[in-house]
Amino acid sequence: GNSVTQMEGPVTLSEEAFLTINCTYTATGYPSLFWYVQYPGEGLQLLLKATKADDKGSNKGFEATYRKETTSFHLEKGSVQVSDSAVYFCALTGGSYIPTFGRGTSLIVHP
Amino acid sequence: DAGVIQSPRHEVTEMGQEVTLRCKPISGHDYLFWYRQTMMRGLELLIYFNNNVPIDDSGMPEDRFSAKMPNASFSTLKIQPSEPRDSAVYFCASSLRASGRTDTQYFGPGTRLTVL
C-alpha cells in the first residue's frame, strides 16, 4: 500500500533560518504529492502540490520538487518567519481514492 | 464559497451520551472524508463517501460510531454511547476527483470533542 514518511519533529529554528522538512513516499504508479499546513486550532490547508515527476510546487515562499528517482518531496523555505510556526503534513493520492498522510512535523520559529 | 463547514466547534459531553457531529462540504465536491486527530494516533481516516455513498468505513473504530450522508450537502458522524477515549478533534474534508484519484483535500475547522 501507499505510505508517507516525514521527519520527526519538532523542528526549532530562529527567524530567517533555512528550513527543510524531509518527506519520502512509497506508492504504485505516479501519485500526486501535497504539503498541507495546520495552524493551531485550525484544520489542515493546502500549502502546495505537484502532480507529476520534476514538477515544483510553490506557495508563500515554500517550495517542494517531485523527485521520482528518490521518491521524495522535501519542503524548503529560504527564510522562515515566526508566523510559519505550525504543523506540516506531507501527503499523496494515487492508486486509490484514499489520501495517505504523514505523521506531521511541528515547526517552531523563535524571534 | 464558505469552505467546509462543521458544527459544533466544541462539544463537551458525559460518558454514555450520544454525540452528533455535522459537516457541510464544498458545493460540487463528490468526495467527503471524516478524520479523527489525536496526539497519540495522529490523523486517522474514519470513513469516506463518494456521491453520498459510503465507500470505505474500515477506519471506524467500533460499532458505536456511525456516519451518514443523506444528500450532497450534509453529513453526520454519530457516536453512541460516547466514551472518554473518543475525545479528539474530528475533521470533515471534501474533494473532487481528478485523473482517477482525489485531488486537494479541503478541511473544515474541526470539532473538538471532550467526553468526561
pLDDT at B100: 66
For residues B50-78, one letter each, b for 16 or more C-beta atoms within 10 angstroms of the residue's C-beta and e for the rest, the string is eeeebebeebbeeeebebebeebeebebe
Query: What is the C-alpha separation between B88 and B37, in angstroms, rounded?
Result: 6
Cell, residue A103: 505523521
**Chain A residues within 8 A of B9 when measuring between CB atoms:** none
pLDDT at B18: 97
Please tell me which of the candidates A44, A95, A97 has its beta carbon nearest to residue B107.
Answer: A44
**Chain B residues within 8 A of A55 when measuring between CB atoms:** none
Residues 6+ apart with CB under 8 A from B78: B18, B19, B20, B21, B65, B66, B67, B68
Q: Report residue A103's pLDDT band, with 50, 70 and 90 as the boundaries.
A: very high
pLDDT at A9: 86
Lowest average pLDDT, out of A62-71, A87-96, B26-35, goes to: A87-96
Q: Report residue A97's pLDDT band, with 50, 70 and 90 as the boundaries.
A: confident
pLDDT at B103: 83
Contact A89 B43 (CB under 8 A): yes
pLDDT at B1: 65
pLDDT at A91: 96
What 3-state DSSP class applies to B86?
Answer: helix
By the CB < 8 Å criterion, does B41 face chain A? no
pLDDT at A83: 97
User: In this predicted model, what pLDDT tens digit does every residue of A7-52 receive, in sequence order?
Assistant: 888 999 999 999 999 999 999 888 999 999 999 999 999 999 999 9
Residues 6+ apart with CB under 8 A from B32: B23, B25, B48, B49, B69, B75, B92, B93, B94
pLDDT along chain B (116 residues), means of 10: 92 97 96 95 94 93 94 97 97 85 88 98
Closest residue of A to B43, CA-based? A103
| Shortest alpha-carbon distance between residue B44 and chain A (Å) | 9
**Chain B residues within 8 A of A96 when measuring between CB atoms:** 101
